[in-house]
Amino acid sequence: MYEFTGGSDGAASTGGVVIGPNGALYGTTNGGGVNYGTVFELRPSPAVCKAMLCYWNETVQHTFTGPPDGKYPAFENLTFDQARDIYGTTGAGGLYGGGTTFELTPSGGGYIESILHSFGSGTDGQSPYSGVVLDTTITTGYVDHGVSGSKESRPQLNQLMTDAYRRNFDAVLVWKIDRFGCSLKHLVNALAGLGAYGAAFVSFRDNLDLSTPSGRLMFQIIGAMAEFERSFIQERVKAGLRNARAKGKGFGRPRVEIDAVRVAELRRDGLSWSQVCRTLNVSKGSAQRSVATIA
C-alpha cells in the first residue's frame, strides 16, 4: 500500500494503522520526519498502480521535533474522539524528557498539536508506549418521536447508522430490541451493518450478547416474535374495523352541515368566497360543494 522512504514521510512504522472517522488510515512512525517520528494519513490512489498493486497517498499530519512536543510516538494505535481529534503518546521528549500525551486538533486542512501531559517530572512515570484509550461513556442519544418502529427509514435511526459508518461510537445500547425495529429482515440487515462498522449491539431488557452463538440465536427468535406480534396487532385492528363497518358505524370526521341556500344568498349579495367562509365559519371547498348541490 505504501513504502516509507525514511525521509520526511517517516520511517519505522511500528504502531500499526487505524481507520479514522473519514475512512482514511492513520498511523505513526518511530523515525523519519526530523528523526523523531510522524503521524501520517493514507488515502487510496487508484491512479498510482504498480504490478497490479495500487498504492496509497501519504500525508504527514504532524512531525515530532523533540522537546517540548515529544519524540518517538508510541507503538500502540492512535485514538479518535467524536470531534475527530487524534490522541496518542510519545515515548520520549516533552518538558521533562519522559514522553508526552498529545492531542491533534483538525485546523485548516491539517492538525495542530497540543501537549496534554509531559511525563518524567517525578512519580507520574515515563515512556508511555502503550498509548491511550477514551472513556467509553454514552455520548449521544437517538430517539424518533411519532415514527412507527416498523419503518426501516427513520430520521434518528438513519443518523445512528451514519454515525456508525463514521465510527463515532463503539456500541449501540437499546432499551429493548423491538425499540430498534419490528421487522426481522430490518433487524438482521441493520445489525449486520453495525457489525461491519465495528459497533457492538446491546439490548438492555433482552440481555443479549450478540458476540456468542446463543446470543445470535436469541436475537433471531426475539426479532421473529416482535414481527409476529406487530402483524397480529395489525390483523386484530383490521378485524375490528371490518366488524364496526358491518354494524353501520361510520369513521372519520363528521360532516359539517352547511346551509347551501344561505351561501347562495351571500354570493348574490356580492360577497367573495373568502368573506362567505369567514361569515359561516366553513372551508371554501365545503361552501362551493354545497352550492353545487342546488345549482
* 286 occurs within a structural domain: yes
Q: Note if the bond before 46 is cis, omega within 30 degrees.
A: no
- Per DSSP, the residues of 134-177 read -----------SS--TT-S--HHHHHHHHHHHTT--SEEEESSH
Does residue 195 sit in the same domain as residue 221?
Answer: yes
In this structure, the answer to whether residues 189 and 272 fall within a common structural domain is no
Cβ pair 176, 219 in contact under 8 A: no
Last residue within a domain, chosen from 67, 98, 118:
118
Please tell me the predicted confidence (pLDDT) of residue 295.
Answer: 58
Q: Does the structure show a pLDDT above 70 at 182?
A: no
pLDDT digits (tens, 9 = 90+) for 17-70: 887 777 788 888 878 888 888 888 888 776 555 554 566 788 888 888 888 888
- In the chain, the amino acid numbered 1 is M
Same domain, 159 and 236: yes
User: How many structural domains are present in the chain?
Assistant: 3
Co-location of 88 and 162 in the same domain: no
Position 257, amino acid: E
Give the CATH number, domain containing residue 187. Answer: 3.40.50.1390
Q: Is residue 195 part of a domain?
A: yes
Q: Are residues 242 and 266 in the same domain?
A: no
User: Is position 70 within any domain?
Assistant: yes
Strands (E), the chain: 17-19, 25-29, 38-50, 53-63, 71-73, 79-80, 86-92, 100-107, 110-118, 171-174, 200-203, 208-209
**Measured CA distances, 283 to 160, 267, 276, 280, 290 (Å):** 43, 15, 9, 9, 11
pTM for the structure as a whole: 0.46
Same domain, 69 and 159: no
- Answer whether residue 62 is part of any domain: yes
Q: Which of 31, 18, 238, 4 is nearest to 134 (CA)?
A: 18
Q: For residue 277, give its domain range.
A: 260-292
Mean pLDDT, residues 79-92 taken together: 81
Query: Can you tell me the mean pLDDT for 243-271?
Result: 84
Q: Report if residue 280 sits inside a domain.
A: yes
* Residue of 144, 97, 150, 86 lying closest to 119 (CA atoms): 97
